[in-house]
Amino acid sequence: MKVTCGIDIIEISRIKESIEKSGEAFLDRVFTKSEIKYCESKKKQKYQHYAARFAAKEAAFKALSWKIDDKYSVCWKDFEVVNDEQGRPKLKIVSIDLGDIEDIDISISHCKEYAVANVTIITK
Ligand SMILES: CC(C)(COP(=O)(O)OP(=O)(O)OC[C@H]1O[C@@H](n2cnc3c(N)ncnc32)[C@H](O)[C@@H]1OP(=O)(O)O)[C@@H](O)C(=O)NCCC(=O)NCCS
């Protein structure tokens, strides 16, 4: 068993600028439909939620970087954050099979200026 973790912090203004500049193209490249639906439901606060998901994908990449070599190439939408009824986030790996992953845990936080995410991956 191997446990790896990744962390990322991002300025919310960076994500806001990308969305304002490239709009749908940026959203569609980085976020899944369900992530977009979740963030848009947050109205004025949406940039914090988008930034948090961006950080989560970067953190997941860091946690998996030892595994992602020539054999696998990943893109933003291979990672998806979903929230349960209590608001608890989960990270799903979609549309790519990274093999023997046993468990994934994620924690997210955001304030006015920054969003952070931490991802822990357990591999058999
Ligand atoms: C859920 C809670 C922890 C969120 O904290 P917050 O400071 O309001 O907000 P943060 O920006 O730090 O975190 C927001 C993220 O927390 C995550 N989150 C929400 N509910 C959660 C839960 N029940 N468990 C774990 N993570 C949760 C989400 O990922 C959310 O971001 P998202 O909506 O973009 O996915 C907080 O609202 C809460 O309920 N606190 C109760 C604390 C308490 O009872 N303390 C007693 C002593 S321990």
Which is the closest atom of ligand 1 to the Cα of 48? 34
pTM of the model: 0.90
Give SS3 for 43: helix
Q: Please report, for the chain, how many H helices and E strands are present, in that order.
A: 3, 5
Q: Which domains does the chain have, with CATH numbers?
A: 2-123 (3.90.470.20)
Mean pLDDT of all residues belonging to the chain: 94
Assess whether the C-beta atom of 108 lies below 6 angstroms from ligand 1. Answer: yes
**Residue spans of the chain under pLDDT 50:** none
Which residue has a Cα nearest atom 6 of ligand 1?
Answer: 109
The amino acid present at 65, given as its one-letter code, is S
Structure confidence by residue, pLDDT tens digits, 67-93: 877 677 789 999 999 999 999 999 999
Cα–Cα dist 123/115, whole Å: 26
Q: What is the pLDDT of residue 99?
A: 79
Structure tokens at 4: 């790896």
Q: What is the pLDDT of residue 70?
A: 66
